[in-house]
Chain A
Amino acid sequence: MAIFIFTIEIAAVVAGQLLLKHAMEESNRLGFRDRRVLRLFFSGVASLTISFFLTIALLQHFDLSFFYPIQGSTVVLIVLAAVVFLREKLSIRLLLGSLLISIGIVIVSLS
C-alpha cells in the first residue's frame, strides 16, 4: 500500500509540473485566458495539491529521513518526463547534473 501511495505521489508531482509547464507554453501562444490554458493550469495545480496531501499522509507513517531521499528522485524523473512528453532537449550534461543533484539531496537528507 505504501509503495502504491509513494508511486502516486511522485507521479502527481511529475504530472503537476508537466501540466503547469505545458499551460505556460500554451499561454505564450494563446494568452492566459484561453480555456485550454486554464484547464491545463488548474489540472497542474490540482495534481500538485494531490501530491501535497499524499506527502502529508506519507509523513504520518514514515520518517522524513526515509521519505525525503525518494523525493530527490523527482529531479531526474521530471527532467526525463520533460524530454519525453514536452520534447525538451536532453544532454548528457543535463542528465549528469540532475543525477548529481538527486544524489546530493539523498546525502543531505540521510545525514
Chain B
Amino acid sequence: MSRAFRWWANPWFVLVLEAIFVTASEVLLKVGASETRRVAGWEWTGLLSLASIWIWVAIVFVILSFLCWIYVLRHIPLSIAFPLSNVVHVLVPLSCWIFLGEHISGTRWCGIAVVIFGLAVVAKPVAKIEEKL
C-alpha cells in the first residue's frame, strides 16, 4: 500500500463512502417499503415495493456500495476493512433516529457506544498505515 492516491481514490475514503452508501440504501429501503406496504396482494414478496422511487434509488446505492467494497478489497486487508465496514451498525440507527424519527433505547445507545469503541480499537493501527500511504 505504498502507492500515492488522490483523495477521492484513497481506499480509506472509499471505505467511508461505502458505509454511507449502505446506510443510505437501508434508510431508503425502509422509506420505500413503508410507502408501499398498504398495497394489497403479493405484499410478502416485496416486489410491489418497486413501485416506490425510493426503492430504485436504494438499489442504485446498493450497487454503488458494492463497487466501493470491491475497490476497498483491492487495497485494504479484509481483516481490517470488514470490521471497519461495520460502522454501518452505528450509522443506520443514527440515521433512523435523525431522518425517520425512530426511537433508540438506552441499551441500544450502549451497543452503539461499544461498536464505536471497537471501531476505534481497530482503526488506531490503521491511522499509522494511512500515514505511510
* Residue ranges of A at the interface with B (Cβ–Cβ < 8 Å): 17-18, 20-21, 24-25, 27-28, 75, 78-79, 82-83, 86, 88-91, 93-94, 96-111
Contacts and interface: CB of A to CB of B under 8 A. Distances in A.
Nearest to B70: A24
Interface residues on B, range: 20 to 34
Contacts of B119: 97, 101
Interface of B: 69-70, 73-74, 77-80, 82-83, 86, 89, 93, 105-108, 110-125
B79 A78 contact: yes
A96 B119 CA distance: 10
15 contacts: A20-B70, A21-B73, A27-B74, A28-B74, A79-B78, A82-B78, A89-B77, A97-B120, A97-B121, A97-B123, A101-B115, A104-B116, A105-B86, A107-B111, A111-B106
Given A78-B82, A98-B83, A107 B107 contact: yes
Contacts, number: 112
B94 to A, nearest CB: 11
B84 to A, nearest CB: 9
> Chain A: interface secondary structure?
helix
Contact of A105 (B70, B111, B123): B111
A111 B118 contact: no
B79 A88 contact: yes
A96 B83 CA distance: 11
Interface centre among A21, A89, A103 (most CB of B within 10 A): A21
Contacts of A111: 105-108, 110-111
Contacts of A97: 83, 118-123
